[in-house]
Structure 1
Amino acid sequence: MSNIVLITGASSGIGAEFARYHASNGSDVVLTARSKDKLDALAAELQDAHGIKAHVFALDLGAPEGAQVLIDTVTSAGLQIDILINNAGFGGQGRHIDRQITDELGMIDLNVKALVALSHHFGREMAMRGKGRVLNVGSTAGFMPGPLQAVYFATKAFVKSFSEALDQELRWKGVTVAVLAPGYVGTGFADRADLHGTNLVKGGGKTPASVAKHGYNAMSRGELVTVNEMPLGFLVNWIIPLLPRRSVLKMIERMQRK
């Protein structure tokens, strides 16, 4: 029985741990990210450890037509994707008007546009077969506005809203869509987002392996939105929505200020 997962941003961090966890169940993986060397090393590791097939497609998903290139490559390889994990994404610290607009728009291209394109194509294929799962990696950032990461927080709010609506549209077709909304995770995210020196990352975060396992299992159970830390989930779902908006904005800005 086919049980192939396509994982974006699979070369490191949570994406690589998704691949390890899925492969440990004896199922094949399709790995994509920009770094071919890292993908090849991960593919070799998984094939040696679990005897599965690991397909590597190295490309820049955030580039113009990047998602379509991936779709065409997967189609040409004759692969049926049973699980789609949209994990690729990045952030960036600083005031919006002080950051390079190319970086801000590139964030939208990867975090939003590529995710939508892949969800559209593979979600439609799953619906036609009457079975499939999509897991979109969001963030607790998607529950609130984020001064000093305005675009990143906004992209994750989009991911949360889009995923919930898509699940409602597809569930009756046998396809579920889940959102994994973790807090800070100890990956290379802080390096690219330039978050070192902020209170947001001071605690070190949860491990990529624990977050990936939590999200994968929640997806398998058909959950809609899951936060990997119970106290944090209570905070973003029940406390922050009740606080004055200006208070929330000031609190988030303090967390992300150097």
Structure 2
Amino acid sequence: MREKKGETVLITYATSGIGYELGRLFAMNGYDLILVDADSSDLKKTSSEWMKKYKVHIETFSQNLSNPDAAEHIYEWTMERQIPIHFMINYADFQLSGSFLETELAQELEMIQVHIATFTAITKLFIKQMAERRKGRILQVASTAAFQPRPKLAVFHATNAFILAFGQALDNEMKDYGVRVNTLCAGPELSQVKWSAREEVPTWLSEVPMSAQNIAEFAFRRFLDEQDKPLIIPGMKNRLLARSVQFMPRKMVTKVVKKMDEGKGESGD
């Protein structure tokens, strides 16, 4: 593992899900943190808990990533405090499901703002200072949704596909500058899905839900190692599924995931 003394990690959506669990692991291992989230009370609670327990320095910044100026506000805030960012975790727990004819356009545009516009802007701003130092690492958090289209989750899967392509291209581009970009494509979280449709789908095509804690622990190890593996997919079955669907006819993939989606809808998800 890398030398951590004096290194600061910036984490977005840091008070819930994978963002929270990754933050906890970094704090546990002695890294200083900047936690970003929309809810200032959750930020205060989380930072107080970790500072007391892990004896690390933590600063918080309340910001909603759906704000078109969010990335600039975060960057300017760190620059004013002269805090160099050594690691950045771009995470956003944002999902919207339903028929495209019925979902709200405003919510879809908000998701596009968060997953595409804000992710691009915050990466652009901070990766420049990393390149100047010739050292830095970024984790773009997507999901296995990036590997296939899915009816009734069309925009969510499309924005995740962007995060994956963006991260992989940047990693290749930034190697000469000493900066690495990893992309985490996690399967479904146990707390978010019900699997009543499992019997309708071939077993080998069913994703394996994992807890946010287990996803984060796997991602944390891979993110900090020195191996040239830009893509991080927790769970052997999820890795096999992600790779296998790339060789299947897109029509078949869409049909299968539609069955999975319909089953989850019947279960009340």
**TM-score, normalised with respect to structure 1:** 0.92
Find out whether 1:256 has 2:261 as its counterpart: yes
Secondary structure of residue in 1 paired with 2:186: coil
Structure 2: stretches of 5+ with no match in the other structure: 199-205
Question: Match of 2:115?
Answer: 111
Find out whether 1:246 has 2:251 as its counterpart: yes
Residue 79 of structure 1 is aligned with which of 72, 76, 83?
Answer: 83
1:205 to partner: Cα distance: 2.5
Secondary structure of residue in 2 paired with 1:56: strand
1:26 to partner: Cα distance: 1.0
User: Where do residues 30-45 of structure 1 align in structure 2 (5 Å cutoff)?
Assistant: 30-45=34-49
Conserved? CA contact 2:143–2:186, under 8 Å:
yes
1:64 to partner: Cα distance: 2.0
CA distance in 2, matches of 1:246, 1:203: 19
CA distance in 1, matches of 2:93, 2:128: 23
CA distance in 2, matches of 1:100, 1:118: 26
Conserved? CA contact 2:142–2:160, under 8 Å:
yes
Secondary structure of residue in 2 paired with 1:63: coil
Find out whether 1:2 has 2:6 as its counterpart: yes
CA gap 1:186/1:76 in 2 versus in 1, 3 angstroms: farther
- What amino acid is aligned across from residue 255 of structure 1 in structure 2? M
- What amino acid is aligned across from residue 25 of structure 2 in structure 1? Y
1:14-67 CA-partner distances (Å, limit 9, x unpaired)? 111111100111110000011111111110111001111111101111112111
CA gap 1:64/1:106 in 2 versus in 1, 3 angstroms: same
Residue 226 of structure 1 is aligned with which of 232, 238, 246?
Answer: 232
CA gap 1:199/1:46 in 2 versus in 1, 3 angstroms: farther
Superposition RMSD on alpha carbons, in Å? 1.8
1:182 to partner: Cα distance: 0.7
1:50-86 CA-partner distances (Å, limit 9, x unpaired)? 1111111011111121111111111112211000000
User: What is the aligned residue count?
Assistant: 250
User: Where do residues 25-104 of structure 1 align in structure 2 (5 Å cutoff)?
Assistant: 25-104=29-108
1:196 to partner: Cα distance: 6.0
Question: Match of 1:133?
Answer: 137
Question: Match of 1:11?
Answer: 15
1:98 to partner: Cα distance: 1.2
1:114 to partner: Cα distance: 0.8
- What amino acid is aligned across from residue 75 of structure 2 in structure 1? I
Conserved? CA contact 1:89–1:111, under 8 Å:
no
- What amino acid is aligned across from residue 137 of structure 2 in structure 1? R
Conserved? CA contact 2:28–2:54, under 8 Å:
yes
Q: Which runs of 4+ in 1 moved over 3 A?
A: 195-200
CA distance in 1, matches of 2:208, 2:186: 13
1:198 to partner: Cα distance: 6.5
**TM-score, normalised with respect to structure 2:** 0.88
CA distance in 2, matches of 1:204, 1:177: 25
1:186 to partner: Cα distance: 3.2
